[in-house]
Amino acid sequence: QLQLQESGPGLVKPSETLSLTCVVSGGSISTSSYLWGWIRQPAGKGLECIGYIYYSGSTYKNPSLKSRVTISVDTSKNQFSLKLSSVTAADTAVYYCAARINVVGGWFDPWGQGTLVTVSS
């Protein structure tokens, strides 16, 4: 059964870079069946898709964040990562990694448990 687990610092200073990793277990990240995504949720607010990556390295990023987002994959470690640069308080959120089914209109399932990242000095 596919499982995802996020990790990374819970506190990041303004203007610095947020870095998170998602480890995939129960299956290989090098599969054509999934894309590997990041979604975030500010406290008490809705969900925003940040972007996702295929195991080959091709990525999609939300245009609203594109200039600040880097998504990468490490197939040897069965994990993928998110970097968000020049963070502000508005980037404070719970960050989820999730697997997106690689079909037209594919949905996200499963999700990691989420990790809270606070941007504060």
Partner 1 sequence: DIQLTQSPSFLSASIGDRVTITCRASQGISSYLAWYQQKPGKAPKLLIYAASTLQSGVPSRFSGSGSGTEFTLTISSLQPEDFATYYCLQLNYYPLTFGGGTKVEIK
> Interface residues with partner 1 (CB under 8 A)?
46-49, 60, 62-64, 96, 98, 101, 104-114
CA dist 14 and 2 (Å) reads 34
Q: Least separation, in Å, of the C-beta of 51 and partner 1?
A: 9
Q: Which C-beta is closer to partner 1: that of 7 or that of 62? A: 62
Q: Least separation, in Å, of the C-beta of 108 and partner 1?
A: 7
Distance set, CA 72 to CA 55, 56, 60, 77, 82 (Å): 9, 10, 11, 12, 7
Q: Least separation, in Å, of the C-beta of 19 and partner 1?
A: 20
Q: Which C-beta is closer to partner 1: that of 64 or that of 72? A: 64
CA dist 5 and 80 (Å) reads 10
Enumerate the β-bridge partners of residue 71: 82
